[in-house]
Amino acid sequence: MPHTASDTDEARPLVQLRGIVKSFGHHTVLTDVDLTVNRGEHVVIFGPSGSGKSTLLRSINLLEYPTSGSVCVDGIEYGPGIAGETPTARGKARDLRERVGMVFQQFNLFPHLTALDNVSIALRRVKGISRAKADELAAQQLDRVGLGAKLASYPSMLSGGQQQRVAIARALVMDPSVMLFDEPTSALDPEMVGEVLAVMRELAATGMTMIVVTHEMGFAREIGDQNVFMDAGCIVEQGGREIFERPAEERTRTFLEAIIP
Amino acid sequence: MTEFKWSVVFDNADVFLQGLVLTLQLSAVSAVIATVLGLVVALGRMSPFKPLAWLSLGFINVVRAIPPFVLIIYVYYGISMALGINFSAFTAGVIALSLQYTAWIAEVYRSGIEAVPVGQHEAASSLAFGKLGAFVTIILPQALRIVIPPLGNNLVGLVKDSSLVSFIGVVELVRNSQLLVSQTFRPFEIYTATVVLYLAITVVISLVFTWLEKRYSTKRPTNGKQPRLSRARLRRLLDLEQRLVATRDENRLASNSTTSLTAPPL
């Protein structure tokens, strides 16, 4: 992926979350979460269901608007900000989302559009690229994920694994700085998990910055530069690969023992 | 026992035809207005701007509560008295039918729009679509597919309710039949012919809507065909696929000597 970045850009974190709080009424889902992601880093977020990991991921592109806290991507601040801090100029959610690609658990492909149009529609309607050019770029992305022969297929005619690969191409075609994956293989039949993970693995090898919420611990061990264990709306522990072998916290150990046979 | 005398129907074919034409005109104009206005009212009903939402909700509930016959009387006599405007019975009929079905169809649209899964909104947002862009490009096309069957039902209802306009003197199918009966004293034959004509209209409507439903279905096609792609579009996509194969081979050959400009395979 071509990405033009100056030296100063390289030095500072690509994504920085500070003091993210999210509550629904009296129920607090995220309690004051901080997370720093450097360019090219692969972050894995794991933890029990209801721990807030998806909410945290979704707050990065403001799909979940934090109750308070700051989201900083590529040096621009978004979100409501931190109480007490002097407010700074804030970017618009739409500008943020042009830099942040997202892949969903349920794929969320547009069922009324072909695979090609699923990928090219945002280029045309959001970025204003001509249909011919958008088709070209979209076809290339679909070819990258191994679906160069499925351009004319509608989502209903594709397997789950193929649909998720279209979804990855759809996010990649926007040329994002960072890709978010929200349990991308959880809705797949077991035999299709591999093809999606293979695409993600190769994407990681290209140096794409990735933040992945997943239960695939084998995959996490493989690509996770920074691994984040969440429970009850907080980051309990984070670290490199050693977190899987020698977790420092009891809660992390219990969770890993429960899910790794 | 007297015998049926179907000749009264065929002898008066031209009279039936006149009635049929008027029923079709009345229904078609009202259907177009209600189908367009229904969407507008549905959007008003779902608007985050509360006064507009309340106004739309009030319109829907009041109009749905008025029996169609009463609404026709209201429009024909009431509005002309209140505003001092005189319109023809035909115009009054079109206004009344349009109002009534705008209210029903607005609720049809609303249910269709709300039936589009939240994941579709999220996917559109994540691709940096704005609210309007997401609605026009992603949500509405799916909602329209969902409302095809109930919209067809409502239009069938509209055609039948158009007969109520006979009360204010529009000589459509039913009024025509009444007049014929008073001349021929053959109610059974005349009304049977009327029913057959209504049946013909509603059958045509259902056929059209069944076709639309099939044509725009997003379900997995059972015959493996792609009914929705235009021939030109399909040709373009297949052409793109072939070019991909060609450039892929090229890149493979060139990969030893030069770096490829296209994206690397994943």
The SS3 assignment for A127 reads coil
Determine the 3-state secondary structure of A155 from DSSP.
helix
DSSP A206: T
Q: What is the pLDDT of residues B103-151, one digit of tens each?
A: 999 999 999 999 999 999 999 999 999 999 999 999 999 999 999 999 9
Write down the pTM of the prediction.
0.90
Q: How far apart (Å, rounded) are the C-alpha atoms in residues A66 and B116?
A: 25
Residues of chain A with pLDDT under 70: 1-10, 261
* Res. B94: pLDDT tops 60: yes
pLDDT at site A1: 41
Check if the beta carbon of residue A116 is closer than 8 Å to that of residue A151.
Answer: yes
Which strand (E) or helix (H) includes residue B128?
A: none
DSSP per residue over B53-83, as a string?
HHHHHHHHHHHHHS-HHHHHHIIIIIIHHHH
d(CA B73, CA B68): 9
Average pLDDT of the segment spanning B2-18:
89
Q: Could A104 and B216 be called an inter-chain contact, meaning their C-beta atoms sit closer than 8 Å?
A: no
Helices B187-215, B140-161: axis angle to 10 degrees equals 180
Strand partners, A36: A16
Mean pLDDT of chain B: 90
Q: Are A112 and B219 within 8 A, CB to CB?
A: no
Q: How many CB atoms lie within 10 A of CB A240?
A: 10
Residues 6+ apart with CB under 8 A from A36: A13, A15, A16, A17
Does the beta-carbon distance from B238 to A152 stay under 8 Å? Answer: yes
pLDDT(B19) > 60: yes
Alpha-helix runs per DSSP H in chain A: 7-11, 53-60, 93-99, 115-125, 131-144, 160-172, 190-205, 217-223, 242-245, 250-259
Cβ pair A28, A234 in contact under 8 A = no
> Lowest mean pLDDT: which of A10-14, B45-49, B109-113, B235-239?
A10-14
User: What does the alpha-carbon distance between residue B59 and residue B45 come to, in Å, rounded to a whole number?
Assistant: 10
Min mean pLDDT across A209-213, B81-85, B167-171 is at B81-85
Q: What is the pLDDT of residue B3?
A: 85
| Nearest-by-Cβ selection for A149 from B127, B241, B243 | B241
Smallest Cα–Cα separation from A40: which of A12, A17, A59, A18? A12
CB contact under 8 A, A125 and B120: no
pLDDT of residue B257: 36
Mean pLDDT of B246-252: 69
What percent of chain B shows pLDDT beyond 70?
A: 91
Chain B CB contacts of A155 below 8 Å: 218
The DSSP code for B216 is: T
pLDDT at B226 over 80: no
Give the pLDDT confidence of B195-223 residue by residue, as tens digits. 999 999 999 999 999 999 988 888 877 76
* Amino acid of residue A78: Y
Q: In chain A, positions 122-141, which contact chain B (CB-CB < 8 Å)?
A: 122, 125-126, 135-136, 139-141
**Distance (Å, rounded) from C-alpha B42 to C-alpha B135?**
13
Q: Is the ipTM of this complex over 0.95?
A: no
Give the gap in angstroms from C-alpha A252 to the nearest C-alpha of chain B. Answer: 31
Residues of chain B above pLDDT 90, percent: 71
Contact between chains at A148 and B129 (C-beta distance less than 8 A):
no
Q: What are phi and psi of A138, to 5 degrees?
A: -65, -40
Compare all CA atoms of chain A with the CA of B244 and give the residue at the minimum distance. Answer: A148
Q: How many residues does this entry show for chain A?
A: 261
How would residue B246 be classed by pLDDT, with cut points 50, 70 and 90?
Answer: confident
Cβ pair A151:B141 closer than 8 A: no
Phi/psi of residue B64, nearest 5 degrees? -70, -25
| pLDDT value of residue B252 | 53
Euclidean distance between CA atoms B149 and B157, whole angstroms: 13
Q: Look at residue A2 in the predicted model and tell me its pLDDT.
A: 45
pLDDT the model gives residue A88: 78
Q: Residue B255 — pLDDT band, cuts 50, 70, 90? A: very low
Whether the predicted pLDDT of B261 surpasses 60: no
